[in-house]
A and B are shown apart, each in its own frame.
Chain A
Amino acid sequence: MNVTLKIWRQKNAQAKGKFNTYPLKDVSPEMSFLEMLDYLNMQLTEQGEEPVAFEHDCREGICGTCGLYINGRPHGPMRNTTTCELHMRSFKDGEIIYIEPWRARAFPIMKDLIVDRSSFERIMRAAGFINTNTGSAPEANSNPVSKIIADKAFDAATCIGCGACVAACKNSSAMLYAAAKIAQYAMIPQGKVEAKDRVDKMVRQMDAEGFGFCSNTYGCEFDCPKGISVDFIALMNREFLSSKACKQKHG
């Protein structure tokens, strides 16, 4: 199959970028989207042109490194699919495919399709962890967790931090990401101990990074490759309000 790619090219963070058009011939429908870009980059390299910079790592949908805004959708047209798991059979022969980087103030472009997502890391560093004593593993039955709660906490924990929620949101809000990271701890006993302090710190860091606010459009849930539910955003809101309302003073 043949496709026409319109790819955002930007030399560095300061440069002004633009779309370049690349007609690509003899693309196999069995290629993954990233293999198709590899194929383009091989040709560009042979022609002595700068290859298109894009991020990728595991290529099996679990690392959260790849993430391209393809034809108006984060990770392309397939739901619950990362860019690396998307295949060219999802496109028509002769289709024009727009490939853009995530667009958000909190995700500045470094080069071409690569954005700096360290704002996510700083949200995690603020309080996205639990404090626990080291030593031998505690007796499992001393902390009973119901199956439903354990499954929900795990659903939240499947977030790979790719940033598709921010890319999809009309407000560039990171609420789904932060909510997943908060909810994975807030529902289980080990995480509940510091839950109120955690939600306060992580939400404050999220706001400081320049993400927008949630207006409950739910585009994030639609485009999340892991299908993370906006129910977690409600949970985060609930945790946040209760942390504000019930804050205890030290001393």
Chain B
Amino acid sequence: MALAGIFLMLFLVSHLLTNLLMLAGDGGKAFDRAVELLGHPAVKIVEYLLFAAFIIHIVLGVILQLINYNARPVKYKKAPRTEISTFSRYMFHTGVIILVFLVIHLINFFFVRLGWAPLPETAAHSHDFRPMAVALFQNPWYSGFYVVCMLFLGFHLKHAFQSAFQSLGLNHTKYTPAIKIIGTLYAIFISVGFALIPVYFLFFYSS
């Protein structure tokens, strides 16, 4: 769970940095170069690892949730009112929201690349992601949905980062407080970073 999660967190950084190139103001040249690099064989190998990480993380998450739910057959009348971390209570719920987003996201972009979904009119070829994204983001409903999902992704990551270290036993009185702060900053960076892109294309961009 933790190892797959760490891999996914690293992937999110590379994905966000690539996406932010869309805002470079060069008509998408830098972004298109980055997309070209995704076709490199070495990247392909990492892509398979990425699918494996997603599947492991999702399957283990569901199994854990089922076992944990069954570990208390009769629930309390008065639900617990205090815990140290609020986001940690809803990891499965935020995870499900992210999964729904992921499926829609794959249909919108990845399926087009594979040729499973029809090429949108705006795109010149199946790797021409920027016009596809711009068209989607100029729909306020899609952008709103995207931003909300990124917010939930942030909640998920806020707990995930330090939790991964705890699960792997990587804990130290000196470094754990720093890990917690870095985790919060990481969650904000990822969720705000991804959310900026639809906000930009919806409000500040005209083609």
Judging by beta carbons under 8 Å apart, are B71 and A212 in contact?
A: yes
Q: Are A219 and B166 in contact (CB under 8 A)?
A: no
| B45 CB-CB contact with A under 8 Å | no
Q: What is the 8 Å Cβ interface bit string for chain B, positions 51-92, against chain A (1 contact, 0 not)?
A: 000000000000010011011111111111111110011010
Q: In this assembly, does B171 line the interface, its C-beta being within 8 Å of a C-beta of chain A?
A: yes
B46 CB within 8 Å of chain A: no
B159 within 8 A of A: yes
The answer for the CA separation of A171 and B165 in the assembled complex, in Å, is 19
Is the CB–CB distance between A100 and B77 below 8 Å?
A: yes
Please report the total number of B residues contacting A with Cβ < 8 Å: 34
Residue B206, interface by CB 8 Å? no
A219–B84 CB distance below 8 A: yes
Q: Does B169 contact A (CB under 8 A)?
A: yes
Assess the B64–A213 pair: CB atoms within 8 A.
yes
Are B163 and A216 interface neighbours, CB within 8 A?
yes
Looking at the assembled complex, report how far the CB atom of A9 sits from the nearest CB atom of chain B, in whole angstroms: 13
B168 within 8 A of A: yes
Majority secondary structure, B binding face: loop
Taking the complex as formed, is A19 at the interface, i.e. its CB lies under 8 A from any CB of chain B? yes
What are 16 A-B residue pairs whose CB atoms fall within 8 Å in the complex?
A: A6-B77, A73-B80, A103-B76, A104-B71, A105-B71, A170-B83, A171-B68, A171-B71, A215-B88, A217-B85, A221-B84, A222-B82, A231-B173, A234-B169, A237-B167, A238-B171
| Contact indicator B88/A237 (Cβ below 8 Å) | no
Query: Considering only CB atoms and an 8 Å cut-off, how many residues of chain A contact the other chain?
Result: 42
Give the docked Cα–Cα distance between A233 and B176 (Å): 13
Specify which chain A residues have a CB less than 8 angstroms from the CB of B181 in the assembled complex.
none
From 203 to 251 in chain A, residues with beta carbon under 8 angstroms from any chain B beta carbon are: 210-219, 221-223, 230-231, 233-241
Q: Determine the chain B residues whose CB is within 8 A of the CB of A105 once the complex forms.
A: 70-73
- A231's closest neighbor in chain B, by CB? B171
Residue pair B72, A215 in contact (C-beta under 8 Å): no
A98 within 8 A of B: yes
